[in-house]
A and B are shown apart, each in its own frame.
Chain A
């Protein structure tokens, strides 16, 4: 499980996250929604330390992440090697796929297990082939990212993240950059993950999809969780006036 306590982050003088508390249980799917600039993507990126943060704690299965407070009371970044080990327990998929353009699809997927986790070449390749088959790309193993559609690239990116056998998968608006007709194929892949009982944290504007797959939805406004609950509560009986306004806009 993931425990987030009192997370605070500022860009200069501007507070982006102002005390986030959130627990994510094993196998839980949590969707983060909110207006652009509300801090939902920053929160996601803090979880795997693509962003630093000034205060608060994040734990994964009880292990404190990213910062250590020494005996002298000073908070320091954890060592690089330790941070790498922690990162290997989580996968992230980006809005723009961000595949490595100079590698084949299979090499993109194999890279992490092979070089971060030291899995043998043979084993890593077998794993890569299995995952690519799972996302429906068994025919594209030796293609290069530039030769694929956006939806295909995003499915490779999901396979690449899964190849690390992560405990949690962070999904950052993964269908926002796609042509509408390609959204479904990526959403189908995410649906197929639900039976794995892996933790999913997704930032999304697709409220309908969030309602379908999320166990809980967090509405974030001004860097804080303004409302948190089951999809039916948050989406159908919103209490926060900002959330009501937000839902009216995304649905119109």
Chain B
């Protein structure tokens, strides 16, 4: 394997991480809006939520990526693969995060709602002070799950010529034919990124659990 390959892979890994990070941030924000929609009083809004989740979750990420990659220029939006790729990842992870959050809201015990209602809390305070903190604690493990998946899912974007870790690996392989070494290294990079997110998630879990949440270790 020629010198410089490792550096190229590392650069690819950084791009992958940036893609995943933007997808996680953007996807989380979109998912919060979606999850609020899921509990709307208006049936049409709830239906909108379901359609979004079913369509996005029921379509392969690869197909979604190709679709957006060809659709955006057709709509006269000259965006290039990076914007299209980031958008696809955001749209995709938002559907998964939204279901995670919806599960968290459903897990809030009825008495907690009743306490909040009996205090006459306005909707925003109810969300900020009661719903969001509880949902965060309930959903951290599945949330981290989706984050890890997002890092790996970003490899799909190599198909629409987003230069990231997987595409970097393929380029090196084409020049060197060192298939197993290069793919092994790429896998190791992915593993390190995912492992890091896992550790971060655990730390956050401990940090939040220490605040007297039921389930705290004595």
Contact = CB atoms under 8 A, between A and B. Distances in A.
Interface of A: 48, 50, 80-81, 84-88, 90-92, 94, 96, 98-104, 111-112, 115-117, 143-147, 160-161, 164
Interface in B97-129: 111-112, 114-123, 125, 129
B212 A145 contact: yes
B114 A50 contact: yes
B58 to A, nearest CB: 35
A100 B212 contact: no
Contacts of A80: 123
A50 B118 contact: yes
Interface residues of B, number: 23
Contacts of B129: 100, 103, 111, 115
Contact of A100 (B118, B123, B130, B216): B130
Interface in B159-218: 211-214, 216
Contacts of B114: 50, 94, 98
Contacts of A102: 133-134, 137, 211-213
A98 B125 contact: no
Contacts, number: 79
Contacts of B213: 101-102, 144, 146
A9 B205 CA distance: 44
Contacts of A48: 118
Contact of A101 (B116, B123, B125, B214): B214
Of B119, B122, B129, the most chain A CB neighbours within 10 A belong to B119
B117 A87 contact: yes
A94 B115 contact: yes
Contact of B111 (A94, A143, A144): A94
A192 B31 CA distance: 48
A92 B118 contact: yes
Nearest to A115: B125
Contact of A115 (B118, B121, B134, B212): B121
